[in-house]
Chain A
Amino acid sequence: MKLRYFAWVRERVGKAEEDVEVPGGVATVGDLMTWLASRGEEYAYAFENPKIIRAAIDKTHVKAHAPITTASEIAFFPPMTGG
């Protein structure tokens, strides 16, 4: 699936998007953040406080317990500051 990162999540991870093969057992958005945090220092830094990171599946806001099985694009970003 495709992952996209925005704002300081993007800066910390060091890339705006990537395609990943998610291992079995990673079932929810929260699981995905835990798995991502284990992928290296930059990911650990980006996802060090998963409670404040927001997520969207296929461009719709979701909570951490949302299942990712049917997702084609998952985005992670800080709380929004537009307007």
Chain B
Amino acid sequence: MTATVRIQSEPFDAAAEAKKLTGGRTDVGALVTFTGICRGNEGSEPIAALTLEYYPGMAEAEIERHVCDAMERWPLLGVTVIHRHGRIVPGDDIMMVATASSHRDAAFAAAEFLMDYLKTRAPFWKQIEKADGKVWIEAKATDDAAAGRWAAQGKHEAAE
């Protein structure tokens, strides 16, 4: 089991990071990767860039806690979570989650679980640059609902 959590301003190579979870081993039968990418528009308005602020120390701790939680819930063989901070332009990657397991169910579920919690519990805030100024993005109620559904699920029920 390998777990990697990184917060950085530099770009990352999602394909290379995912490959690290499967390279040199033959027990991984499923690899799920999710990459969040900066869109060039917010609603109908074009944006120049977004800037991510975060709470150093707490962001790492929150993500690590949820990675541990995911490892308890599902039989995972590897997890990688990378999240960038600072200014990011449209088309560039913001963050990634990769989960490796013997079978697809655990890999899919764990990746979704980590994404849902990351959006609502990891202390990051997005500000977008539009033609008329900078605006903080508002949290979505649908993200809270997505994270809430995991709390209702027992660990054994969620396994396999």
Tell me if A79 counts as interface (CB < 8 A to partner B): yes
Interface residues of B in 74-114 (CB under 8 A from A): 83, 94-95
Interface residues of B in 19-62 (CB under 8 A from A): 36, 52-55, 57-59, 61-62
Contact A59 B125 (CB under 8 A): no
Contact B57 A83 (CB under 8 A): no
Contact B119 A6 (CB under 8 A): no
Contact A80 B58 (CB under 8 A): no
Contact B58 A56 (CB under 8 A): yes
Q: Name B125's contact: one of A7, A56, A60 (CB within 8 Å).
A: A7
Residue tally, chain B, CB below 8 Å to A: 29
Tell me if B137 counts as interface (CB < 8 A to partner A): yes
A78 contact set on B, CB distance < 8 A: 125, 136, 139
Contact B55 A75 (CB under 8 A): yes
Residues of B within 8 A of A (CB): 36, 52-55, 57-59, 61-62, 83, 94-95, 115, 118-127, 136-139, 143
24 pairs, A vs B, C-beta closer than 8 Å: A6-B53, A7-B53, A56-B58, A59-B55, A59-B58, A60-B61, A77-B55, A77-B125, A78-B125, A79-B120, A80-B120, A80-B123, A80-B139, A81-B124, A81-B125, A81-B139, A82-B52, A82-B95, A82-B118, A82-B119, A82-B122, A83-B94, A83-B115, A83-B124
Known: A56-B58, A81-B126, A83-B122. 7 other contacts (CB 8 A): A56-B123, A79-B120, A80-B123, A82-B54, A82-B83, A82-B95, A82-B123
